[in-house]
Amino acid sequence: MNTIPVDHYNEVKTTIGPDVSLLVVSKTRSEEEIMAYYALGQRCFGENHAQEILAKKDLPADIEWHFIGHLQRNKVRSIAPYVSMVESLDNLPLAKVIEKECARIGKVMPCLAEFHLAVQDENKTGLAEEDAFAFIDEIMKLPHIHLEGIMAMGPHTEDEEEIRRIFLQGKELFDRIREKYGDQIRILSMGMSDDYRIAVECGSTQVRIGSYLFY
Ligand SMILES: *Cc1c(COP(=O)(O)O)cnc(C)c1O
């Protein structure tokens, strides 16, 4: 039996095309499954727990680990050396800890600001749209953080029109931020297993896909 559904991987790659990048969300998945994707040439993987990144840190060094979950400030020191991007930056105290730890180890951390666009979903993390510019102005002052774009999740609904409305809101916010801060802002991370096709139609430049790519 195959370790991973290669047909799904090929389907996703074909659907998103060459201009959209694929983050394989490998949280809770085994080293064997990750290495099966590695053998296909996949190098970018997403994780949402500090402990799990540390447990997987001895996998090949050219793997890029993207942190996509809620990041506690007291976990930053342990993972900072191993993480290629923090996609879930949504508060200034966290940014200041990342700044301090990365200054200590001589690293500039690529980050995405995470936004909470679907107002009807309770208890979700992420910045409010109206706070975007005040937040990013502060982030831009931190020399060991390099803000490269934004991340957002679609709403928990099967209503395609509602999903599209939220993703278009994300695209519009991305365009406004890019207009103000320039080409440094290049990544719009939107779309997961159930909604990535819509996200790409709405202008996403990176999809984060987990369950569809594993058994
Ligand atoms: C788990 C997770 C994903 C992947 O979700 P799937 O529905 O399994 O594709 C994407 N983004 C974030 C932030 C996640 O936590």
pLDDT digits (tens, 9 = 90+) for 9-58: 999 999 999 999 999 999 999 999 999 999 999 999 999 999 999 999 89
Task: Quote the ligand 1 centre to 114 CA distance (angstroms).
Answer: 14
209 lines ligand 1 (CB under 6 A): yes
Percent of the chain scored above 90 by pLDDT?
Answer: 95
Cβ-in-10-Å burial (0-12, 13-18, 19+) of 181 comes to middle
Angle between helices 132-139 and 92-105 (to 10 degrees): 20
Q: Is the pLDDT of residue 133 over 70?
A: yes
Region 169-187 average pLDDT: 98
211 lines ligand 1 (CB under 6 A): yes
Q: Is the pLDDT of residue 120 over 70?
A: no
Give the closest residue to 70 by CA, choosing from 49, 54, 52, 85. Answer: 49
In this structure, whether the domain defined by 6-213 belongs to CATH 3.20.20.10 is answered with yes
SS3 133: helix
Give the closest residue to 129 by CA, choosing from 118, 139, 145. Answer: 118
199 lines ligand 1 (CB under 6 A): no
Region 195-213 average pLDDT: 98
Per-domain boundaries in the chain: 6-213
Q: Are strands 21-25 and 44-47 parallel, antiparallel or unpaired?
A: parallel
| Closest residue to atom 7 of ligand 1, CA basis | 193
